[in-house]
Amino acid sequence: MKSKLTISITLLLMSVFIAKAQWTELTSGTTMHLYSVFFTEASTGYAVGGVYSPGGMGLICKTIDGGDTWTNLVQGVYVFLSVHFPDANTGYIVGQNGVIFKTVNAGADWVPQTSGVTINLESVHFVDVNIGYAVGVGGVVLKTTDGGANWIAQNSGVTYMLNSVYFVDVNTGYCVGSGGTMLKTTDGGANWAPLQSSIPLEEYLSVIFADANIGYVSGFDHQTFGTILLKTSDGGLSWTSHLNGLPASVALRAVYFENANEGWVVGDGGFIAKTTDGAANWTTQVSPVTQALRAIHFPVSTVGYVVGNGGKILREGDPTTSVSAVSSENQLMIYPNPVSDVLHIHTQNNNIQVEIYNPMGQIVHTSTFNDNTQIPTHGFAAGVYIVKVSSGTDVCYEKIIVE
């Protein structure tokens, strides 16, 4: 068997091809604003949001087929504002009135945690399944070292709203927020130091680091109505503006970098732009929507997701194919589809792992095989399932219908 598996998936005689990258609108099934998105792999992800109407309502939804279909997992009375998964099963959500929820079974159950605060928590980020941070209104910073069993308030030294938090390792992290607030810790949050003097009308909305030194901040200037995109190459000691190719006036609500050079920003009016040279130049991408876009995540380099106002969800890339080139010599066939009794999987390779997920994202079958296998499906409830076929780091997905 080759060291890198290159698979072409066919359902009977149908081949799946890698589509040219472009942003397409998906059907979310909601008109609520979506504030955050996180995918644990190319096809499995979560979006959270809600509406601040009297009484309020929050929403957690999940997809296991790359966003083609979404299942509402939780509808609560508080708006959910940020979601982060440190691994495929363990996830955290924070939001309005200090709510924090945790799952340890990939979203099947969400358990509320005690934050000790009643202000809005705007952002959550975990270093691993146990160590995490949440930030929010009034300069609040919370830390847990035991998977959320206890959340301890830390002294940020500011009272401005903190909109975003990101940690590059267990000790080094950054917070950004209103008033041009930039904070850094090098001791796991015990102490936070400002990286610049406050700038009252500058709103920093998102922060991310590509490595220990290179980081980016996006936002908006409320005084000049100017676009903000800042970069550091020295761990936050100095920041420079990088606006070449960006509009003069757009609120950039989220920034995401796949590596030091390749990144995206999203913002108001459905705006999306991409850079391939570390923010030296930006190219506007075609967006199919005009609503404000609030969050972006690329679980793999070839597949990305964006969420925003009005329940808008966008996708770039094809999550049903691996990043390897299509090759007929390593063909995989999955049939029949729809299936009612036995699913057949045929390949010309060895040591292939197959997992089948139900509509809730739960694994209902897992096995390893060589060449061929047959999987009984008569015990599965009728519905749409995802077949995951993998070898090493190469993964392919296919949707099947069980009758």
* One domain for residues 106 and 138: yes
* One domain for residues 31 and 125: yes
The verdict on residue 126 lying in a domain is: yes
Looking at per-residue pLDDT, the higher value among 55 and 384 belongs to 384
d(CA 12, CA 337): 8
The mean pLDDT of 211-215, rounded to a whole number, is 96
The verdict on residue 332 lying in a domain is: no
Distance of CA 195 to the CA centre of its chain: 27
Model confidence pLDDT, tens digit, residues 259-314: 999 999 999 999 999 999 999 999 999 999 999 999 999 998 889 999 999 999 99
Q: And the tokens for 19?
A: 């589509």
Q: Is the pLDDT of residue 360 over 80?
A: no
The verdict on residue 10 lying in a domain is: no
Domain-terminating residue out of 260, 286, 316: 316
* One domain for residues 308 and 378: no
* One domain for residues 274 and 391: no
**Token pair 């590596």: residue:** 259
Model confidence pLDDT, tens digit, residues 236-251: 999 999 999 999 999 9
Domain harbouring 398, CATH code: 2.60.40.3080
The verdict on residue 14 lying in a domain is: no
Looking at per-residue pLDDT, the higher value among 199 and 217 belongs to 217
Q: In what order do the strands lie in the sheet with 111-113?
A: 80-84, 91-95, 100-103, 111-113
Q: Which residues of 329-343 are buried (b: 16+ CB within 10 A; e: fewer)?
A: ebbbbbeeeebeeeb
How much is the pTM? 0.80
d(CA 50, CA 45): 17
The verdict on residue 299 lying in a domain is: yes
* One domain for residues 193 and 299: yes
pLDDT classification of 6: cutoffs 50, 70, 90? very low
Q: And the tokens for 248?
A: 């003069």
> What is the pLDDT, as a whole number, of residue 284?
97
Name the residue range of residue 75's domain.
Answer: 19-316
Q: Is the pLDDT of residue 9 over 50?
A: no
* One domain for residues 210 and 355: no
The verdict on residue 6 lying in a domain is: no
Which has the closest alpha carbon to 315: 122, 65, 48?
A: 65
pLDDT classification of 323: cutoffs 50, 70, 90? very low
* One domain for residues 212 and 290: yes
pLDDT classification of 49: cutoffs 50, 70, 90? very high
Residues 6+ apart with CB under 8 A from 210: 216, 257, 258, 259, 260, 263
